[in-house]
Amino acid sequence: MVSIYRRSSMIVHQEQPLNAGPTPDILRQAITTPQEHFFVRTHGTVPNIDPADYRLTVTGLLSTPLQLTLDDLHQNFPIVEISATLQCAGLRRDELLAIAPIEDELPWGLEAISNATWRGVPLRAVLEAVEVDSQAEHVEFCGLDSVQKGGRDVGFGASIPLAKALSEEVLLAYEMNGEPLTPTHGFPLRVIVPGYIGARSVKWLGAIKLQRYPSTNHFQSRAYKLFPPHVQAPTADWESARALTDLPLNSVICQPHMDEVLPSGPTIVRGYALTGAGHTIQRVELSCDGGTSWTPASIVARQSSWSWCFWESTVHLHSGRHQLVVRATDCSDYAQPADLAQQWNFKGYLNHAWHRVNLRVL
């Protein structure tokens, strides 16, 4: 694949399919991530779709099935814009990998996240047009990409509860930061489910289905579910585990980076913080002594309740070894958990423990 990315600014976990994200200092430069730095998470192929031939089908438990062209979407529905952060459930898996092995998953660090302004049609407007039956409880999204698993094409699909699908924030997006979606981000149409894990924001959207049950696609039924630390892959009961929806409260330090060597004196510490479920960040606190004492950091940029915020703090460090720690608290007074080991799960999802960075000051 020909890629537009400046390799020096990206951490590339896999070339085919492309899985990459910006280095933490690049990530922390702009509250709206430019396309060229926006992280990419791809499970299979990048389909090559001719916009003139493109059709979106809407079927299932509804009165009026629809087949929509891109022109139909542009001309016959309301158009809205929303700033929202996309985060992969695998963010910060590298820290969990240091505790115990995690099979067949990418070792994402702080870079599986980005923020954009999305423009498109509210999903709700399309669901109103098809007249959804009262038995429908879930909305399934099917991607047009091929994903090989165990020698067959399982495709990429996901579903969200009907109540979330009817909320005003869920979009069928065709633009990102004022430009058409790029092929890697889902051209010509993708779902954006603000506040949910990235896997529900299906790219290259081909079909929407109204159904009584969640999607049976591999990526809804056999991935993106959370298990406690003691469960291992062979004993996992996938049927009864809950599918991941909302992103957890999280905050990280982007600068300085792990094991950086710094001169003594003032150091600016910078990072991002976010939370799902439409909550907002109330407070970000920083510790320079491994979590014993804390001082508040300043929130320096914030866009919408569906977007991350940027924080910073200046600390004065004397020579020696230090551990910086960050933690956030949301508007319902929920604080990030301290213990990384309690976060371990055999798929390596949703690590949101206090983030720690070790430094040596000269």
Q: Which string of DSSP letters, residue by residue, matches 111-177?
A: TSEEEEEEEEEEHHHHHHHHTB-TT--EEEEEES---EETTEE---EEEEEHHHHTSTT-EEEEEET
Minimum Å gap between C-beta 255 and ligand MTE is 22
Q: Which two tokens stand for residue 94?
A: 């590298």
Using CB under 5 A, which of the segments 26-34, 82-90, 117-125, 344-352 binds Mo ion? 82-90
Among 77, 187, 196, 204, binds ligand MTE (CB under 6 A): 204
By CB under 6 A, tell whether 118 contacts ligand MTE: no
Question: Do 141 and 158 form a contact (C-beta atoms < 8 A)?
Answer: yes
Using CB under 5 A, which of the segments 12-20, 191-199, 236-244, 281-289 binds Mo ion? 191-199
Using CB under 6 A, which of the segments 34-42, 74-82, 324-332, 354-362 binds ligand MTE? 34-42
Among 54, 77, 118, 156, binds ligand MTE (CB under 6 A): 156
Residue 111 site contact among Mo ion, ligand MTE, none (CB < 5 to 8 Å, cut-off depends on kind): none
Using CB under 5 A, which of the segments 95-103, 193-201, 212-220, 233-241 binds Mo ion? 193-201
Element (H, E) at 310: strand 309-317
Question: Do 333 and 282 form a contact (C-beta atoms < 8 A)?
Answer: yes
Peptide bond into 34 cis (omega under 30): no
- Which residue number is nearest to Mo ion in terms of Cβ? 88
Binding footprint of ligand MTE, residue count (CB under 6 A): 19
Rank residues 14 and 76 by Cβ distance to ligand MTE and give the closer one. 14
Minimum Å gap between C-beta 20 and Mo ion is 13
Q: Which two tokens stand for residue 256?
A: 């300085």
Beta-carbon-side half-sphere exposure of residue 242 (alpha carbons within 13 Å): 5
H-helix segments, the chain? 24-27, 70-76, 93-97, 123-130, 162-165, 218-221
By CB under 5 A, tell whether 41 contacts Mo ion: yes
Among 26, 40, 82, 136, binds ligand MTE (CB under 6 A): 40
By CB under 6 A, tell whether 119 contacts ligand MTE: no
* Binding characters for ligand MTE, 163-202, by CB under 6 A (x = yes): ----------------------x------------xx-xx
Residue closest to 49 by CA, chosen among 182, 178, 175: 182
Using CB under 5 A, which of the segments 33-41, 44-52, 96-104, 280-288 binds Mo ion? 33-41
Rank residues 243 and 297 by Cβ distance to ligand MTE and give the closer one. 243
Matching residue, tokens 């542009």: 74
Question: Do 176 and 186 form a contact (C-beta atoms < 8 A)?
Answer: no
Among 22, 120, 143, 248, binds ligand MTE (CB under 6 A): 143
Using CB under 6 A, which of the segments 37-45, 234-242, 278-286, 298-306 binds ligand MTE? 37-45
Rank residues 112 and 288 by Cβ distance to ligand MTE and give the closer one. 112
Rounded to whole angstroms, the Cα distance separating 101 from 136 reads 40
Rank residues 189 and 281 by Cβ distance to ligand MTE and give the closer one. 189
Using alpha carbons only, what angle is made at residue 147 by residues 165 and 130, rounded to the nearest 5 degrees? Answer: 25
Question: Do 302 and 328 form a contact (C-beta atoms < 8 A)?
Answer: no
Rounded to whole angstroms, the Cα distance separating 248 from 337 reads 10
Where on the chain is the footprint of ligand MTE (CB under 6 A)?
Answer: 38-44, 86, 88, 143, 145, 156, 185, 198-199, 201-204
Residue numbers of the site for Mo ion (CB under 5 A)?
41, 88, 198-199
